[in-house]
Amino acid sequence: MSQKNYIEANKNRFLAELFEWLRIPSISADPAYEDDVRRAAEFVKSKLEQAGAQNVVLEETAGNPVVYGEKIIDPRLPTVLVYGHYDVQPSVPNELWETPAFEPTVRNGNIYARGACDDKGQAYMHVKAFETMMQTGTLSCNVKFMIEGEEEVGSTNLGIYVKAHKEKLKANVILISDTGMLAVDQPSIDVGLRGLSYIQVEVTGPNIDLHSGIYGGAVANPINVLCSMIASLHDENRRITIPGFYDDVLEVSKKDRDALALAPFSLDKFKSHLDIEDVMGEAGFSTNERTGIRPTLDVNGIWGGYTGEGSKTVLPSKAYAKISMRLVPNQRSEKITKLFQDHFEKIAPKSVKVKVMPHHGGEPVLTPTDSIEFRAASAAMKEAFGKEPIPTRGGGSIPIVALFEKELGLKSVLFGFGLDSDAIHSPNEKYGLFNFYKGIETIPLFYKHYAGLVR
Ligand code: BES
Ligand code: MN
Ligand code: MN
């Protein structure tokens, strides 16, 4: 049977299985879901076994297990290492979901569920593509699977696992579907990802909450101070004011900027989709450049003082914020975190104390477009979509990709099938049925072209 016919004959079962996986709330950020996280790992383990993988194990770590499995058909053939993650982001705010986050539902040709696109739906395409190749006798490369459960919390334990298992993870290329493409009729391949520095700050004013009438106006309000400190981190051109912040930013050449500008993009559609009158960002750069090739600084959350019902006239003792910076080549997260820390401490007025607490970080990556793996990915997309994929820059981060390169010496192919409109991490996350099945159809073509090019 041909791959296409096999997929067609089994498509309903593929979807039913994915739904079973999506029903497990494998939220890595919340320890209350530890058992569910493990169940999600067990689920994909059993599906890899059923698909024909060997030596399938849950590799224990200090945190959530890594699911490993392999199929070595001939040591002389190239080996593809497939990476994905079975953990998901929290579903809150739940009241904004049209149908519950962990009750997958199909509406208008889309699967709605937390993890539908990021990353269970995309990771599962690889399991089913593998099954398809096994069942049709068309597997043309060795394959190793490594599906982790802590991507959404920084992949710290996977990093440790990778360093300890370099021999076992030996491969020729890493294949990842955890990013997006431009449109269902315009394939694209990310050739870069941004890095991340993530920091929490605490600003303390007086040692207790005070009456805002008795003390207000005379004592620093840490929320007011935090807000002006944060505001000062951008200048009037929306450039980040931390000294040295841009020092290592790799300026993208005119030629490369022109190439990136070829990607079809409608600013009007972008604005209307988000219901905004205008965009905002660094002067001198287009919207796609602002998300792709430029670094950012964003407040992810800010709190303090009274936020309950009604009013309480209080001058709070403390204010907090979570701040993230997206980094581009060749910025280093450790250095940027340090620059932030020094600057933030320096700009604090004497009337408050500040504490800067770094969270996880990750390094940016760039992948070459003249490599065998990129050409194979490109050829696969072209064959499946009938159109040459456009190289794009992904604005998000997958911190483990830089570590794969450093520790395993392997480049990754960011073979993503999601759409920006899939609302990953948001309420009503979705993934197109078209994208799901198209991915299952396209992945085997990568193996075919890769095996052909390596030879
Ligand atoms: N799959 C995303 C990353 C992504 C999405 C890259 C779309 C490019 C396009 C991943 O699961 C993710 O959300 N990563 C986090 C980083 C992590 C350390 C929490 C991110 O980018 O915020
Ligand atoms: Mn992801
Ligand atoms: Mn994610």
Confidence of residue 262 (pLDDT cuts 50, 70, 90): confident
Burial 17-49 (b: 16+ CB within 10 A, else e): bbbebbbbbbbbeeeebeebbbbbbebbbebbe
Mean pLDDT for 355-359 is 96
Residue nearest to atom 19 of ligand 1 (CA): 152
Tokens linked to 143: 């394959």
What are the chain's domains?
3-193+364-454 (3.40.630.10), 195-249+295-361 (3.30.70.360)
Cα distances from 321 to residues 189, 199, 288, 362, 426, in angstroms, run 34, 8, 27, 20, 20
165-180 pLDDT tens trace: 999 999 999 999 999 9
3-51 pLDDT tens trace: 999 999 999 999 999 999 999 999 999 999 999 999 999 999 999 999 9
The whole-angstrom separation of Cα 77 and Cα 136 is 18
**Residue 212 pLDDT > 90:** yes
**Residue 259 pLDDT > 90:** no
Round the CA-based radius of gyration of the chain to a whole number and report it: 23
Question: What is the Å distance from ligand 3's center to 88 Cα?
Answer: 7
Residues with Cβ within 8 Å of residue 301, at least 6 apart in sequence: 321, 322
Amino acid identity for residue 250 in this structure: L
CB 179 within 8 Å of CB 414: yes
Q: Percent of the chain beyond pLDDT 90?
A: 97
Mean pLDDT for 248-273 is 93
Residue nearest to atom 20 of ligand 1 (CA): 397
Please state at what angle helix 120-135 crosses helix 433-454, rounded to 10 degrees.
Answer: 60
Q: Percent of the chain beyond pLDDT 70?
A: 100
C-alpha atoms less than 13 angstroms from C-alpha of 295 in its C-beta half-sphere: 31
228-246 pLDDT tens trace: 999 999 999 999 999 999 9
Query: What pLDDT sits at residue 424?
Result: 98
Cα distances from 301 to residues 85, 200, 234, 322, 353, in angstroms, run 25, 9, 17, 5, 20
The atom number, within ligand 1, closest to the CA of 118 reads 1
SS3 314: strand
Which region among 17-21, 73-77, 251-255, 294-298 has the lowest average model confidence (pLDDT)?
251-255
The whole-angstrom separation of Cα 23 and Cα 33 is 13
Query: What pLDDT sits at residue 226?
Result: 98
Mutate to test the pocket of ligand 1, among 151, 156, 190, 413 (most ligand atoms within 8 A of CB): 151
C-alpha atoms less than 13 angstroms from C-alpha of 88 in its C-beta half-sphere: 32
The atom number, within ligand 1, closest to the CA of 152 reads 19
Query: What pLDDT sits at residue 455?
Result: 78
Give the pairing type, strands 142-148 and 79-85: parallel
359-387 pLDDT tens trace: 989 999 999 999 999 999 999 999 999 99
The whole-angstrom separation of Cα 412 and Cα 393 is 14
Give the pairing type, strands 210-211 and 314-315: antiparallel
Query: What pLDDT sits at residue 319?
Result: 98
Measured from the alpha carbon of residue 364, the closest ligand is 1
Whether omega before 278 lies within 30 degrees of 0, making that bond cis, reads no
Mean pLDDT for 289-301 is 97
The whole-angstrom separation of Cα 293 and Cα 29 is 29
Query: What pLDDT sits at residue 452?
Result: 96
Q: What is the pTM of this model?
A: 0.95
Mutate to test the pocket of ligand 1, among 178, 324, 392 (most ligand atoms within 8 A of CB): 178
Measured from the alpha carbon of residue 179, the closest ligand is 1
Strand partners, 401: none
Average pLDDT over all residues of the chain: 97
Measured from the alpha carbon of residue 120, the closest ligand is 2
Residue nearest to atom 6 of ligand 1 (CA): 396
Strand partners, 321: 201, 302
Mutate to test the pocket of ligand 1, among 333, 398, 421 (most ligand atoms within 8 A of CB): 398
Please list every protein residue whose CB sits less than 6 Å from any atom of ligand 1.
118-119, 151-152, 154, 178-180, 193, 196, 360, 362, 394, 396-399
Please give the DSSP secondary-structure letter assigned to residue 151: G
Confidence of residue 134 (pLDDT cuts 50, 70, 90): very high
Question: What is the Å distance from ligand 3's center to 89 Cα?
Answer: 6
143-156 pLDDT tens trace: 999 999 999 999 99
CB 287 within 8 Å of CB 279: yes
**Residue 405 pLDDT > 90:** yes
Amino acid identity for residue 311 in this structure: S
